[in-house]
Amino acid sequence: MIPSSYPSAEEIARLSARMLLEIGAVNFNVDTPYTLASGLPSPSYIDCRKLISFPRIRSTLMDFMTVTVMRNAGFEAFDNIAGGETAGIPFAALVAERLALPMTYVRKKPKGYGKNARIEGAMHEGERVLLVEDLTTDGGSKLSFVDAIRETGATCGHTAVIFYYDIFPETTKTLGDHGVQLHHLCTWWDVLTEARTQGAFSAQTLDEVETFLRAPRAWQEANKTT
């Protein structure tokens, strides 16, 4: 069912951050940093995949994503909702259900047999496609999915995520240069604010995380292992 309640963007960000903290999706460790997919260290890590196991929170966040997209992009802006393999697939299905639209998903690479397709489901030339993912860091990983969608003759000018790092200044330019607008529910800054409000972590930990968020590349360079 299409949500009919429209909280402010600020309230959506605050509540989304609170829910991510509540289910333990937010992880801070300054003593033993996490290793990101890039191989670089980080004192913070977020696991949005956990959301699928919490139905009340999952449903609320998908309502938030649906109203955010409708408010920012338009109420009749899309014909198809595509999830990025793999984390975006369940969220795309839930948003598509709310918008009463077809759902597809995009593989990271061709499956290597059969039709060697990257798009699963029915996507047609001229369709306006919303790409749904769990999160974005610097926006780079979205471009391959967008290109695969466009190769079908469909258009893709929007991507929606639950969580946006909002610490790498090149993100919006990377996506914008590719003709893609980003929609998100909350960022590390929202999570940090809510974590301080709740006292969810020690002040020392949150201060070090903030140091990372303000200058992530410098922090990574200072803390990477050889």
CATH number, domain of 192, equals 3.40.50.2020
57 alpha-carbon distance from chain centroid:
16
Taking the whole predicted model, whether its pTM rises above 0.85 is answered as: yes
Q: What is the pLDDT of residue 226?
A: 60
State which residues form the domain around 67.
9-215
The CA-based angle 217-176-72, given to 5 degrees, is 110
Residue 1 belongs to some domain of the structure: no
Q: What is the pLDDT of residue 37?
A: 73
CA distances from 175 to 12, 97, 143, 144 (A): 23, 26, 7, 11
How many structural domains is the chain composed of?
A: 1
**Alpha-carbon gap, residue 145 to 84, rounded angstroms:** 7
Residue 71 belongs to some domain of the structure: yes
Instruction: List, for the chain, all residue ranges whose pLDDT scores fall below the cut of 70.
Output: 112, 114-116, 226
